[in-house]
Amino acid sequence: IRQASRHLRTQYHPAYDTEPFAEQQVADAGDISCNPYNNKYGTY
C-alpha cells in the first residue's frame, strides 16, 4: 500500500467524478505490522 501511495498524485478521480483527498483526511501511517492469519494480533 505504501509503495502505491506514490501513484496518488492527482486530486481528481474521473471515473468516480470525485476528489477523494478533498473529502477525506488522509495520512501516511508508515509501516504497519500485518499478520494474515490473525488480525487480532497483527494490527495494533
> 34: closest CA among 42, 25, 26, 22?
42
Per-residue pLDDT, 13: 78
Q: What is the pLDDT of residue 44?
A: 55
Q: Give CA–CA dist 17/1, Å, rounded.
A: 23
Query: Region 15-41: what's the mean pLDDT?
Result: 74
Mean of the per-residue pLDDT values of the chain:
70
pTM, to two decimals? 0.34
